[in-house]
Amino acid sequence: MSRSDQQSNGGETQLSRRKLLEFLSASPMLAPGAVAFVAGFLGGSSSALAQSYDVLRQAPVLDGDLIANPAQALNVFDFELVAKKVLPPAHYGYLASGVDGDETLKANRDGFEKIAIRARRLIDVRKIDTTVKIFGETWGSPIALAPISSQGAFHPEAEGAVARACKAKNHQMILSTVGSTSIEDVIKERGSPVWYMLYPTDDWAVTEALVKRAEKAGAPAIVLTVDRQGGRNTETLFRERRGDTRTCTDCHTPGFKNEVSRKPMFDDLDVSKVTNLYGTGMTWDYVKRLRGVVKGKLVLKGIVTQEDAKKALDYGVDALIVSNHGGRAEESLQSTIGVLPEIVGAVNGKVPVLIDGGFRRGTDVIKALALGATAVCVGRPYAWGLAAFGQPGVEMVLTIMQREFETIMRQVGATKIAEINGTSVSRV
């Protein structure tokens, strides 16, 4: 067959395919997704079908509603179902619990429903830039990982797996004082410095030693948690623990020394005088004293009022994290996204304002940025991914949230973070 004959037959074939697809598209018996499916088998495409959904995008789930691997996840909530199945009841309860009736935990999520997104059209958003710069460091995404304690309770590789996931997906993370992995090992796994969240204890010598160790390891920011002063009633944890048949005292025994015996940040420290991890009695004078010790950046985590935000500036704080400990600090019924505007207004651009509490979707992230947040810290979702599948689970959680965030960025017509502002959202 000559080249001209081949071209002629090829053109006729394409025309026949097009006519068939046009006929199928007009048929009330076939859904658009099915048409796209047929188009794929025919080896052709139609511009009219270019954005049709791929009905084969997700493989069948084999274990009821549970995904069998990270690639099957449609959203971050899919990982929670697996985490609940694989974790001991007490460990899952610790991760899931808020305080009292979990109403503030719920309020964090409900707060996003009070904010609508304003979509813009006819803007070229084929190329977008999601980088943000904080303290001179460029992050690949405004989505960072919040500190979560005792991650060895969720997966044997603990924070090491999380750090490797952050390295692979280019996200920043904050390590908890009572993490299952040392800051030196976490920085090694991530390949670059991480922030360090400080539980102050009630022994200044221990507090100072923790700060010096973190900064020596390379932590550019010390994040003092200030929202755990009044104690808490974690009913969901207590309820789940009733169904745990293990002997919990095999790992958990009374006394602070025993409590931190498996927490590497306390290795070689004399904790005999410590009675409380959270520094009950801490005041603004404590912040002043800590400011005199911290050589790098000092961040306060747990600020939820404009009064405290303004006062933090007076004490030389370099950034704030709007947080109610993921609904685990107090049963205030106040969402973090709800108080964010007053914090942003109080600091008036003088320091970065980060936020955590209930972030599960890319749309949640863009709402916070539109209201003035510099970055967003995600907690439970990556712990679900860690519990379910280890490092690959954490990576997929980050992939999903970043993908959702980039999608909604394009819908609001933003090609870079600076273009996300108050005009991107409205109150419902």
Taking the C-alpha atoms of residue 131 and residue 39, their distance in angstroms, rounded to an integer, is 37
- Tell me the two tokens of residue 8: 């002629």
Q: Which of 318, 320, 322 is nearest to 298 (CA)?
A: 318
Alpha carbon distances (Å) from 116 to 81, 143, 146, 354, 424? 28, 20, 25, 20, 9
- The C-alpha R_g of the chain, in whole angstroms, comes to 25
Q: Is 192 left (phi over 0), alpha (psi -120 to 50) or beta?
A: beta
- Tell me the two tokens of residue 85: 């199945």
Cα separation of the two ends of the chain: 66
Taking the C-alpha atoms of residue 322 and residue 355, their distance in angstroms, rounded to an integer, is 4
Alpha carbon distances (Å) from 134 to 141, 146, 319, 375? 11, 16, 10, 9
Taking the C-alpha atoms of residue 339 and residue 321, their distance in angstroms, rounded to an integer, is 12
Catalytic residue numbers read 325
